[in-house]
Structure 1
């Protein structure tokens, strides 16, 4: 079958001072009609830059210096901007990783999808509305008429991603580029989006260039696979061949880093609970004029759990299940409406301000997005030292301790003088962990600490958490939507749905013999589960 998109020896140069001369180095790929080609690799491997080169959406001072990109006989590498505007959307469409940043927050979703028709076709306003509604129905978005009038922030992450897919498919493009479209989604929504893309690709005969760092996703959806490292394609072939008999050491390392779903042998830990949650509830009331028609969301409902001293409790569930709200209740970032949270028997809600400062040292949090939680205007050493300084440690002592903590989490102590933007995502997460450890806590609450990281970096951070638990005697609450992450480090797990804990217990028992239908559905939805089980 002939290729509908051919990338032939494409080189993309980076500006002077970058960490390497080329973002892409003689990249050659081809995409055939009706197939899904997965381009896989870690951050910085050139995956997204390949997509940007095809769409001619490269950053300033970055350009194609060699090679051709052929689409329907036209070389996109030399096409004018006017020619590219005609091709984007109509011939080649793109689904972006984060729909919240790709969608205009000030316009209803239906208007943004309809704009594709108003720019590229002569359809009437009524015809555009009808086509937009049909597209939203096709991508199986709940209540498509309501979704047409909704603004992006009023939709869930999975619904926004479906709206982006509807927009990308509006003009029936021959090529669809999907750049990490499921990275931040929970397993059931991820499974739905993957199934949707596969179904639409089969029915419409679209060629899909699917960019991902997750080999579980690759196993679920790919016809062929190309593996990239440092801007170079190091291996490519049929999906079954690459997954089951990888040839390149880098491919082997990536596949080896995919966490298996099987629980490791149980680890001994104390029967004594350092943290207890007793009947914790939290309800949000939003909207409404003069108190009328308020929206009531019972985010956490009567949750009772215990964290053993020196153990790790995983809290898993889909987006909106109440996991992060529960974590914020534990850390007293929000106040629960009912129930008790006891640290070594003391209810945190009844503490005086001085008692609260003391307990705050004993419990620290690692946030999901280390870049958003680190002040970009301050050096990272100062950020790590800030907590001890506030609690009375002399500045020089705190900064010296920051260097020690950098070494502890596997970073160069000399890097404490740098700023957050000078680090990779995995390094920033290590800085977040170092900052949380600076006050020598006994309990660490980690809220989705690896959800945005590549599988190899994910594995490094999870190993680090396990090592710190053993070395420092930490007790950890791990919030995650990724069951493969939970099974690596957790001793116990609690499964949340719509604010309630529907099942809990030792992680091996819960994952190997789940009792609740919701737990079984979560496990069944893990992408590439059969591939992982066979490893």
Structure 2
């Protein structure tokens, strides 16, 4: 079958001062109708730049430096912007990684999808409305009429991603580019989105270029795979050939970094609890007037768990299960309305704000998005030293300690003078870790600390956490929706659904012999689960 889209030795030049001369160097790829080509690689490998080059959406100062981008035989590399506007949406459409930034927060979902028809067709307002509802139904959004009137913030992450897919499919494009569309989604939502893309692709015969760093996703959805490193394609072939018999050392390294589902041998745990939760609840009430017609959400409902000294307790579940709310209750970023949270025997839930401030020395939090949690106007060293200074350490000593902490988490101590935006995602996560460790806490609460990282950087951060746990005697509460990660780092695990713990126990018991139907459903939803099990069998 002849390809619809061909990249023929495409190079993209970066501006002076970049870490390399080209974002892409002589990249050659092709994708045919009714085919899914996965482009896989680490952050900075050139995957997203490949998508932006095809769409001619390159940032300022970045330009195509050679080669051809052939869409149905026409070279897009040299066409005018006006001609390119006719191709975008109608010929080639794109699903972006983060729908919350791609969608206009001030316009309803229906208006934003309808705009595609307003710009590119002569349909009447009524016809556009009908097409919008049909599209929302096609991407399996519940209650399409209600979703069309909703604003982006009123939909869940999975529903926003479905709305983005509906927008991309509005004009029946020949090529669909999906740039990391499932990275931040939990396993069940991720499985639904992958199934949806595969189903739509088969029914419409669309050519799909799917960009990802997740080999589980590759195993689940790809027909062919191209592996990119440092702007070059280092290996490509059928999904079976590349995953089962990788030829390039870089491909083998990436596959080896995928965390196995099988838990390592159990560690001996202390019988002494360092943190315990007893009947912890948190309820949110929204809307209504004078208490009438309120919407009541039981974010955390009667949760009782114990973290042994020196152990790691994983808390897993879908988005909205209550994981992050529980984490915030533990460090008193939000107040639980009932229950006890005991740290070294002291109930944190009943402390005043002033008393809790003193107690933060003993329990610290690492956030999911280090870029959002780091002040962009302050140098990294100052951010790490900040907690020490607040708790009475003189500033010069605190900055010296910040350099030591940088070394502890594997960063160059001289980098303390740089700002957050000058670091990669993995490096920013290490800064977040250094900041949390500055006060030498007994307990570290890590909320999705590796969910946005590619597999090799993720493996480095997880290894670092294990080393720090061993060296510093840390006890860790590890919040994640990635069950592969939980299997590798956690001694104990609690599975949450709708605010409640439905199953808890050792990681080996819960994942090896799940008792609750919801736990079994989560494990069955892991993308590329069969690939992971085959790989474990080969390496065992």
Same structural fold, with TM-score higher than 0.5 when normalized by the shorter chain: yes
Aligned to 1:118: 118
How many Å separate the matches in 2 of 1:173 and 1:515? 45
CA–CA separation in structure 1 for the residues paired with 2:143 and 2:257:
39
Q: Deviations over 1:202-260 (max 9, x none)?
A: 01000000000000000000000000001000000001000000011100000000001
Cα deviation code 1:409-439 (max 9, x no counterpart): 0011111111111100000000000000000
Secondary structure of the residue aligned to 1:372 is helix
Aligned to 2:418: 418
Q: TM-score, normalised by structure 1?
A: 0.99
- What residue is the counterpart of 2:57 in the other structure? 57
For the residues of structure 2 that align with 1:253 and 1:271, how far apart are their CA atoms? 38
Measure how far apart 1:290 and its partner are.
4.2
SS of the equivalent of 2:27 reads strand
Matched residue, 1:205: 205
Render the CA deviation track for 1:118-174: whole Å, top value 9, x for unaligned.
111111111111111111111111111110111110000000000000110111100
Residue segments in structure 1 that go unaligned for 5+ positions in a row: none
Relative distance call for 1:134 and 1:354 in structure 2 (3 A) is: closer
Aligned length: 535
Tell me the residue number matched to 2:407. 407
CA distance in 1, matches of 2:349, 2:21: 56
| Cα deviation code 1:2-55 (max 9, x no counterpart) | 010000011100000000000000100001111000000000000000000000
| Whole-angstrom distance in 2 between the partners of 1:357 and 1:374 | 19
Separation in structure 1 between the aligned mates of residue 88 and residue 446 of structure 2, nearest angstrom: 41
**Structure 2 residue aligned with 1:331:** 331
Q: CA deviation at 1:396?
A: 1.2
Aligned to 1:81: 81
Instruction: Please give the alpha-carbon distance, in whole angstroms, between the structure 1 residues aligned to 2:355 and 2:17.
Output: 50
Unpaired runs of at least 5, structure 2:
536-540
3-state SS of paired residue (2:283): strand
Q: 1:235–1:123: structure 2 CA closer, same or farther, 3 Å change rule?
A: same
Distance 1:282 1:127 in 2: 45
Question: Matched residue of 1:431: which SS?
Answer: helix
Corresponding residue of 2:363: 363
Once residues 192 and 457 of structure 2 are traced to their aligned partners in structure 1, the CA distance between those partners, rounded to angstroms, is 26
Q: Partners in 1 of 2:155 and 2:355 — Cα distance?
A: 40
1:514 corresponds to 2:514 = yes
2:341 corresponding residue in structure 1 = 341
**Equivalent in the alignment of 1:463:** 463
TM-score (structure 2 length as normaliser): 0.98
Which residue pairs with 2:396 in the alignment? 396
**TM alignment of 1:180-219, pairs within 5 A:** 180-219=180-219
Q: Describe the SS at the equivalent of 1:371.
A: helix
Which residue in the other structure is 2:538 paired with?
none
| Contact 2:339 2:349 (8 Å CA) reproduced | no
Q: Cα RMSD between the aligned structures?
A: 0.8
Instruction: Tell me which residue corresponds to 2:305.
Output: 305
Deviation of residue 354 (structure 1)?
5.2
Distance in 1, Cα, partners of 2:411 & 2:327 = 27
Indicate whether 1:434 and 2:438 are aligned: no
User: Does the alignment pair 1:10 with 2:10?
Assistant: yes
Report SS of the residue matched to 1:514. coil
SS of the residue corresponding to residue 247 of structure 2 reads: coil
Cα deviation, residue 73, structure 1: 1.9
CA distance in 2, matches of 1:78, 1:352: 65
- The Cα of 1:289 is off from its aligned counterpart by 3.6
SS at match of 1:428: helix
